[in-house]
């Protein structure tokens, strides 16, 4: 089954049943008869509140404003189970990359325009081994309470499914219903991390067993993007993102069966790529760090944008926080501060582009700035302004 089917099935279910269902809240299904404990944060909580909903699927808040979900889950509003919603920035979307493969995995990241004030997740550094216990949190479709059975017959090549009494059935499971609930469940890793061609994703798997963990869990439509956590000596680690389920051969839609598997993107495999984005300076232009005003060119007005903002503030800028869409990319050198170093970096790039044989600007003594030969008088004036600015801001910095 393609990875899209989970999500599409959920969309279809929502579309078909929107007239009768209450608004979908946030679900793995679990095998136990009651789930009173599973629809709220577990006592030993790996990050319950960090798992939210986006579009028709789930998503996990990573930290520094970044959220990760399955690529086939669309949507740009990240809703938390505490009732708060956050908007995704249009300027920070990222498709996670496979190592050494042209195809991209079923993982995407986006950044919020506001800080939700949630703790950062620690991502596992190695794939969980077979037998590792995991906790799965997602907002997938609920199951009906009644245990059902199916007889399997294989006339010709196609396995035929016929619903029957669970007492004599080949396969046991449940019907899925139209509602969904955010829920946590458990399982053991059943398959080691491996590249799954159908999803172009490095995954590990769990198997939904009737005699499994206390709260044996299986991903259902809507769980895509949900979090899979493992315990460690250093506390909980985010090890996977649910991307699909792997049902039995020829299994009908709308049911969940024991023996099916859930597939999770193995985040240890993608860890460096994910963290390179999370830890990236948020005010540095990813396309071209010297292009402060993002007009596609590097020119003196990029430096002037920084100069003007420093003059306006009469202080250096703290650029460690989230950046609103459309604002200039002030942090040229990526130190999460806005200061004259950013201005000098732009000038250095302008000189490099003009192919002038001068020393690196960052290494120049500040007193020499105004005397460096420049291709334009505007640039020269800007350099003078920078030197003045430096003189004005220095006492401020000493005071701070
Ligand atoms: Ca299992
Ligand atoms: Ca520019
Ligand atoms: Ca900077």
Q: Domain-by-domain residue ranges, the chain?
A: 3-268, 300-399
Dist CA 285 CA 345 (whole Å): 13
Residue 377 Cα to ligand 2 midpoint, Å, equals 18
Record: fold of 3-268: Thrombin, subunit H (2.40.10)
- At residue 164, the pLDDT reads 96
Dist CA 168 CA 147 (whole Å): 12
If you average pLDDT over every residue of the chain, what do you get?
A: 86
Q: Is the pLDDT of residue 371 over 90?
A: no
Q: Nearest ligand, CA of residue 292?
A: 2
- Collapse the DSSP code of 361 into the 3-class scheme (helix H, G, I; strand E, B; otherwise coil) and give the result: helix
Residue 194 Cα to ligand 1 midpoint, Å, equals 18
The mean per-residue pLDDT over the stretch 143-152 comes to: 94
Q: Is the pLDDT of residue 23 over 50?
A: no
Residue 316 Cα to ligand 2 midpoint, Å, equals 21
Q: Nearest ligand, CA of residue 332?
A: 3
DSSP category for residue 182: -
- In 302-324, which positions are buried (b, 16+ CB within 10 angstroms) versus exposed (e)? bbbbbbebbeeeeebbebeebbe
Dist CA 264 CA 15 (whole Å): 26
Alpha helices in the chain (DSSP H): 3-17, 267-278, 300-313, 340-354, 377-399
Pairing between strand 337-338 and 317-318?
Answer: antiparallel
Residue 75 Cα to ligand 2 midpoint, Å, equals 30
Q: Nearest ligand, CA of residue 302?
A: 2
Q: Is the pLDDT of residue 236 over 90?
A: yes
* pTM metric for this prediction: 0.83
Q: Nearest ligand, CA of residue 260?
A: 1
Q: Nearest ligand, CA of residue 320?
A: 3
The mean per-residue pLDDT over the stretch 201-211 comes to: 96
Q: Report the candidate in 104, 117, 78, 50 with the shortest Cα–Cα distance to residue 273.
A: 104
Express as a percent the part of the chain with pLDDT over 90.
76
- At residue 281, the pLDDT reads 96
DSSP category for residue 191: E
Of 254-268, 282-296, 356-370, the poorest mean pLDDT is in 356-370
- At residue 369, the pLDDT reads 39
Residue 354 Cα to ligand 2 midpoint, Å, equals 15
- At residue 379, the pLDDT reads 55
The pLDDT-based confidence of 97 (bands split at 50, 70, 90) is very high
- At residue 367, the pLDDT reads 37
């Amino acid at each position: 089954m393609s990875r899209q089917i989970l999500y599409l099935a959920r969309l279809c279910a929502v579309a078909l049943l929107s007239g009768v269902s209450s608004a979908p809240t946030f679900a793995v299904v679990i095998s136990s008869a009651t789930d009173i404990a599973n629809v709220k944060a577990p006592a030993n909580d790996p990050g319950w509140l960090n798992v939210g909903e986006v579009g028709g699927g789930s998503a996990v808040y990573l930290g520094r404003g970044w959220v990760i979900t399955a690529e086939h889950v669309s949507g740009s509003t990240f809703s938390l189970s505490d009732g708060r919603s956050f908007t995704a920035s249009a300027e920070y979307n990222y498709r996670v990359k496979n190592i050494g493969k042209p195809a991209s995995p079923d993982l995407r990241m986006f950044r919020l325009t506001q800080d939700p004030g949630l703790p950062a997740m620690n991502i596992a550094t190695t794939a969980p081994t077979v037998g590792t216990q995991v906790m799965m949190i997602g907002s997938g479709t609920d199951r009906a309470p009644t245990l059902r059975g199916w007889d399997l017959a294989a006339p010709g090549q196609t396995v035929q499914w016929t619903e029957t009494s669970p007492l004599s059935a080949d396969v046991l499971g449940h019907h899925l219903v139209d509602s969904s609930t955010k829920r946590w469940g458990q399982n053991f890793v059943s398959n080691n991390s491996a590249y799954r061609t159908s999803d172009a994703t490095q995954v590990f798997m769990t198997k939904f067993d009737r005699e499994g963990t206390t709260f044996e869990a299986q991903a259902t439509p809507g769980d895509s993007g949900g979090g899979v956590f493992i315990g460690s000596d250093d506390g909980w680690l985010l090890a996977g993102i649910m991307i699909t389920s792997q049902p039995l051969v020829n299994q009908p839609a709308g049911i969940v069966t024991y023996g099916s598997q859930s597939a999770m993107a193995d985040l240890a495999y993608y860890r460096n790529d994910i963290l390179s984005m999370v830890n990236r300076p948020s005010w540095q232009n990813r396309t071209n760090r010297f292009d402060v005003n993002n007009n596609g060119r590097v020119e003196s007005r990029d430096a002037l944008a920084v100069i003007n903002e420093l003059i306006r503030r009469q202080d250096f800028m703290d650029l460690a926080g989230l950046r609103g869409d459309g604002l200039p990319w002030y942090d040229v050198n990526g130190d999460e501060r806005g200061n004259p170093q950013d201005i000098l970096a732009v000038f250095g790039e302008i000189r490099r582009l003009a192919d002038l044989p001068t020393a690196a600007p960052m290494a120049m003594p500040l007193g020499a700035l105004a005397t460096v030969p420049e291709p334009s008088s505007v640039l020269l004036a800007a350099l003078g302004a920078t030197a003045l600015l430096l003189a004005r801001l220095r006492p401020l910095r000493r005071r701070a």
